[in-house]
Amino acid sequence: MFMLFTISLIIFLIAIITMILGSLLSKKTFFDREKNSPFECGFDPKSSARMSFSLHFFLIAIIFLIFDVEIALLLPIILIINSSNILLWISITFFFILILLIGLYHEWNQGALNWIT
């Protein structure tokens, strides 16, 4: 257990050091309003360069991604039915599907699945 904690700490420190070095050595270190604004032939922009993005669409995309990954995790469960204890297999499968259904019910109850235009 101590070795696992030590390895995790070393990996975490390497990631932090890499991020700090990347931010210190990056070329873009000073921020200028003129350089960060969109260029329109030397004139000030007429409107914002960014288009509005539907946050509801983003939420539905994230929910789809989560459930898509969980369904991909269901596929190996079918393959291991012959090589495992049937009672253990049924309990783990039931628990996993129960978690999926509770998550789906929660999202439905919160109204995140209602497509509002």
106 has a pLDDT exceeding 60: yes
Three-state secondary structure along the chain?
Answer: CHHHHHHHHHHHHHHHHHHHHHHHHCCCCCCCHHHHCCCECCECCCCCCCCCCCHHHHHHHHHHHHHHHHHHHHHHHHHCCCCCCHHHHHHHHHHHHHHHHHHHHHHHHHCCCCCCC
If one compares 114 and 7, the residue with the highest pLDDT of the two is 7
CATH topology of domain 2-110: Methane Monooxygenase Hydroxylase; Chain G, domain 1 (1.20.58)
**pLDDT digit string, tens, across residues 8-57:** 999 999 999 999 998 888 766 566 666 666 665 666 656 666 667 777 78
Whether the full predicted model's pTM is greater than 0.85, yes or no, is no
